[in-house]
Amino acid sequence: MSNIFIISAPSGCGKTSLVKELCLSYSFLKQTISHTTRKMRFGEINGRDYIFTNTKDFINNINGNKFIEHQQVYDNFYGTSFDSIRQITESGQDAVLEIDYKGMLSIKSAIPSAISIYIMPPSITELQNRLIARGLDNREVINKRVSQAANELNYSRFSDYTIVNDDFNYALKALKSLVLWSKISRNKLFN
């Protein structure tokens, strides 16, 4: 039986790096590829990092009920298609979704057996420092993200597990342990 793992966090908490390393570590995991209307960043590849699309096509997919969850975040749309999850689970692998807290709540509502893990920053100040160090956004966007993150952290209580990413290697070990424990526990239930 395939599992669905939801990894959620505010922007800048390290979820993308953690999910990348997690999926590289275990061949039974495969990350879903979200759709987005945001512009492609340097080094990103369409179909690997995201499925980049325009707003008209994204809205057509919403109207066609193609997404299990979708959100507008910072003036862009993001969504997870039903097909992206189905293709992974039907292949026998476990699906990993890297999404925000609204997506986490939507997925948990639609698929209560999905396992949600919330990545927390050590502090709001540290989160702001990480966003500045990343160098991807201007100061106005960073301030917006930090303000939003302070609110988003309240939703961590709705996740099954939380991990504080104070030290990347420790957070990765904790994430791997949770995934393995959840997989073993669930398989014992159904065998």
User: What gap in Å lies between CA 178 and CA 185, rounded to an integer?
Assistant: 10
User: What gap in Å lies between CA 3 and CA 182, rounded to an integer?
Assistant: 9
pTM: 0.87
- Residue 123 has, within 13 A of its CA and on its CB side, a CA count of 3
pLDDT recorded at residue 188: 61
Q: How far is CA 176 from CA 5, 77, 84, 99, 152, in A?
A: 12, 29, 22, 18, 24
- The pLDDT > 70 percentage for the chain reads 97
- Side chain identity at 13, as an amino acid letter? C
CATH code for the domain defined by 4-185: 3.40.50.300
* Mean pLDDT, residues 135-150: 80
